[in-house]
């Protein structure tokens, strides 16, 4: 559900997840609760990371926010819409689903073609995003000619091309090797700091969440519930050296203790 107005305190919010729950029903009538009543918000221009153990409902929640799955109860409210002509959300999944018969440029412009955007404007947007994600010189390449990192950059550019109100990313770097994953974290941080795109990022990898996010939402339990929300007060732009900062390490310890279910640690 999308709404354009709300109480005054909500006006700086991009999206509000309000008491969202999900129960799956089987053909024989059985019911499996996946999410309890989950509530949190994403502010305008904020990077929010969602972490938790496998099976706690992170991807289910993302699919509900994306509009790909209906909630059993509750709602997702988009506030203060500035891009009424564009989509509310755009998603980058772990499986990137790039079109193998389309070049980098054509993959990036696919959503714009579906929107009926003119060729001139599509190319202008593609040029800007190709520069942003560092794919100059690879515009005519096809997915099979790209490295894993380049495919990720293409998928991110394609998601940004349609100017979504909220960009959703579901463990997009989990299939990459360690070095490429680290490189892509730095690249995504740079892209976010350039665009200030409101972003919800799902990951099970706590160091990645702390490095990227402004706030980390911790989920746990079955059905899934919000255990805590941790503001990450690390300076931007984020550089790799921040990972050896004592404050960074304290955030890791605090979040890991809560994900393991040992209760709330002291605030950083």
Alpha helices (H) along the chain: 58-65, 104-108, 110-114, 119-133, 148-161, 178-195, 206-212, 246-259
In a domain, 23, yes or no: yes
- Look up the pTM and report it: 0.88
Q: Does a structural domain hold residue 201? A: yes
CB 112 within 8 A of CB 101: no
Dump pLDDT digits (tens) for 194-233: 999 999 999 999 999 999 999 999 998 888 899 999 999 9
pLDDT confidence bin for 159, thresholds 50/70/90: very high
Residue-wise pLDDT for 244-253, tens only, equals 999 999 999 9
pLDDT tens digits, one per residue of 65-103: 999 999 999 999 987 666 556 678 999 988 778 999 999
Q: How many folded domains does the chain comprise?
A: 1
Contacts of 167 (CB under 8 A, 6+ apart): 89, 90, 91, 92, 159, 160, 197, 198, 199, 200
Provide the pLDDT for residue 80.
Answer: 64
Expressed as residue numbers, the domain containing 187 is 8-88+164-259
Q: Is residue 182 part of a domain?
A: yes
CATH code, domain with 234? 3.40.50.300
Per-residue pLDDT for 265 more than 80? no
Q: So what's the pLDDT on residue 82?
A: 60
pLDDT at 261 (0 to 100): 76
Confidence band for 267, pLDDT divided at 50, 70 and 90: very low
Residue 64 exposed, middle or buried by CB count within 10 Å (0-12, 13-18, 19+): buried
pLDDT, one tens digit per residue, over 119-153 is: 999 999 999 999 999 999 999 999 999 998 999 99
- Asked if the structure places residue 151 within a domain, the reply is no
Cα 82 from chain centroid (whole Å): 19
* 201 class by beta-carbon count within 10 Å (0-12 exposed, 13-18 middle, 19+ buried): buried
Asked if 188 and 160 touch (Cβ cutoff 8 Å), the reply is: no
């Amino acid at each position: 559900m999308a709404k354009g107005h709300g109480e005054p305190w909500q006006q700086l919010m991009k999206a509000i997840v309000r008491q969202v729950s999900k129960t799956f029903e089987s053909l024989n009538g059985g019911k499996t609760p996946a999410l309890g009543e989950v509530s949190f918000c994403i502010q305008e221009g904020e990077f929010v990371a969602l972490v938790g153990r496998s099976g706690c409902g992170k991807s289910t929640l993302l699919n509900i926010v994306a509009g790909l799955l209906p909630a059993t109860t509750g709602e997702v409210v988009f506030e203060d819409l500035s891009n009424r002509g564009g989509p509310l959300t755009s998603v980058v999944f772990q499986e990137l689903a790039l079109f193998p018969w389309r070049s980098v440029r054509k993959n990036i412009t696919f959503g714009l073609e579906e929107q009926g955007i003119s060729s001139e404007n599509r190319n202008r947007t593609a040029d800007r995003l190709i520069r942003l994600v560092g794919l100059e010189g690879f515009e005519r390449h096809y997915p099979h000619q790209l490295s894993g990192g380049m495919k990720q950059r293409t998928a991110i550019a394609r998601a940004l091309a349609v100017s979504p109100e909220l960009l959703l990313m579901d463990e997009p770097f989990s299939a990459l090797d360690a070095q490429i994953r680290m490189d892509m974290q730095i690249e995504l941080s740079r892209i976010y700091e350039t665009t200030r795109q409101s972003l919800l990022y799902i990951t099970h990898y706590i160091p990645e969440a702390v490095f990227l996010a402004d706030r980390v939402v911790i989920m746990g339990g079955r059905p899934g519930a919000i255990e805590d929300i941790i503001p990450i007060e690390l300076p931007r732009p984020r550089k790799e050296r921040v990972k050896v900062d004592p404050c960074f390490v304290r955030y890791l310890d605090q979040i890991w203790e809560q994900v393991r279910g040992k209760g709330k640690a002291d605030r950083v």
